[in-house]
Amino acid sequence: MPRRVAIVGTGHSKFGVRSDASIPELAWEAISEAMKEAGIEGRDIDLVVMGNVGGWSSEPLPAIVSLEYAGLEGKPVYRVEAACATGSAAIKAARDAIASGDADIALVFGVEKMNESPTPTVVEFIGRAGNYFWEFENFGLTFPGYYALYATAYMSKYGATEEDMCMVSVKNHYYASHNPKAQFPRKIDVESCMGSRYVAWPLKLLDSSPITDGAAAVVLASEDVASKLTDSPVWIEAIGAASDTSNLSKRAQFTSLRAARLAVEQAYKRAGIERERAASEFDLAEVHDCFTIAEIMAYEDLGFARPGEGYMLAREEQTYIGGLIPVNLSGGLKAKGHPLAATGVSMAVDIVRQLHGRVEKGRQAPIKRGRAIAHNIGGTGHYAYVTIYSSSKPR
């Protein structure tokens, strides 16, 4: 019987252009805050799981470099990679280790320093993340380019507009304006989004998540240990994970992410949630809005809207607080920023703080069910992790 696992501490650096801090310094900001919040010391940690995608940053062994800086050298550690879903994969790896009895307390952190290379180099690295040989080498896709292929197909099939996509960006910037950790803590309007330049037609600059430096950390503990450390653990109720083809050409359609649908199905099954009622089961959702079209597809893949109707939720402002379900109250990847490997951990940090009712006024969801969901996608639907968090102990 697997053991129950809870988050007992959270840490989050300021996201943005963090030229003031190196990789281990940035990691330390999140690690030290999470350990302090959990009330633990280095000697209490049984396992460290670290997430970093890298390539653009100088340290090839960022896990080791960060642990030495944090005084945690000697601990068992590995680095995981699931592209932009790396942080959620790291949480799953640590959750599994605790559930199996291999560890009682695990530290998970994700850190990314994307600004150590010039922008065209970063654009190149992310563009290579798919199938390098068959789709990048000759055709030079970019990350916005991959999602633009989905946007074109979605808009053509369902009649969504560029304005609908901009509505997502406007919402996420609105909530980021209440989040001091966000890279862009300021509002935008539909006009400025529509007026921003194309990066990969039909996606524009303000449809896109930025190049971000940042770190986030959580401390996970087994049930016995968690009850000693805190009165308000947030439990990992269920995780669903899946993947899809590296070549986009091998996909059957471009209006929905298959990996996301598979991961959602698994997570809902494990938590006993009916897909049709999903929106009413959670106080909030953090979803993977690397591009605005991705958030619209997420609404559908999560069952918040029927296929082809996700853009209507954006158009009708149903994903603000007070609507059908509040989505990305952190500002999302779009406006909070997207330091790849930190993103999944950042979602967990923000969800824990939301469920505790301790985020900034203006972006705090009313907490009634004590349950929230994180939807974290790696690459262009290449990886998907869906994690359900709950303040009540799972069955």
- For another protein, the closer of residues 161 and 280 by Cβ is 161
- Kind and range of the H or E run holding 6: strand 5-12
Respond yes or no: is residue 338 known to be catalytic: yes
- For another protein, the closer of residues 149 and 239 by Cβ is 149
Segment lying near another protein (by CB under 8 A), choices 30-38, 119-127, 236-244, 352-360: 119-127
- For another protein, the closer of residues 7 and 149 by Cβ is 149
- For another protein, the closer of residues 157 and 358 by Cβ is 157
d(CA 257, CA 310): 13
Q: With binding defined as CB under 8 A, does residue 395 bind another protein?
A: no
Q: Measuring CA to CA, which residue among 382, 302, 304, 366 is closest to residue 329? A: 366
What is the footprint of another protein within residues 289-348 (CB under 8 A)?
none
- For another protein, the closer of residues 285 and 335 by Cβ is 335
d(CA 314, CA 163): 10
Q: Measuring CA to CA, which residue among 284, 290, 388, 374 is closest to residue 339? A: 290
- Interface size with another protein, residues (CB under 8 A): 46
- For another protein, the closer of residues 151 and 294 by Cβ is 151
d(CA 151, CA 293): 6
The distance of closest approach from Cβ of residue 384 to another protein in the complex, given in angstroms and rounded to an integer, is 20
d(CA 388, CA 235): 8
Beta bridge mates, 284: 372
The distance of closest approach from Cβ of residue 150 to another protein in the complex, given in angstroms and rounded to an integer, is 7
What is the footprint of another protein within residues 43-72 (CB under 8 A)?
58
Binding to another protein by CB under 8 A, coded x per residue (else -) over 238-277, reads ---------xxxxx--x-----------------------
- Kind and range of the H or E run holding 347: helix 340-355
Binding to another protein by CB under 8 A, coded x per residue (else -) over 139-168, reads xxxx-xx--xxxxxx--xx-----------
Q: Measuring CA to CA, which residue among 63, 182, 54, 67 is closest to residue 113? A: 54
Binding to another protein by CB under 8 A, coded x per residue (else -) over 5-44, reads ------------xxxx------------------------
233 CB burial (10 A radius; 0-12, 13-18, 19+) = buried
Segment lying near another protein (by CB under 8 A), choices 134-142, 167-175, 373-381, 384-392: 134-142
The amino acid at residue 177 is: S
Backbone dihedral angles phi then psi of residue 386, each to the nearest 5 degrees: -125, 125
Q: How far apart are the first and last CA of the chain?
A: 12
Q: Which one among 71, 73, 198, 269 touches another protein, defined by CB under 8 A? A: 198
The distance of closest approach from Cβ of residue 315 to another protein in the complex, given in angstroms and rounded to an integer, is 21
Q: Length of the chain, please? A: 395
Cβ atoms of residues 80 and 86 within 8 Å: yes
d(CA 2, CA 240): 16
Question: Helix, strand or coil for residue 276?
Answer: helix
- For another protein, the closer of residues 57 and 318 by Cβ is 57
Respond yes or no: is residue 84 known to be catalytic: yes
Segment lying near another protein (by CB under 8 A), choices 130-138, 170-178, 221-229, 363-371: 130-138
- The bridge status of strand 213-222 relative to strand 203-204 is unpaired
Which residues make up the interface to another protein (CB under 8 A)?
Answer: 17-20, 58, 118-121, 123-124, 127-128, 131, 133-136, 138-142, 144-145, 148-153, 156-157, 197-203, 247-251, 254
Annotated catalytic residues are 84, 338
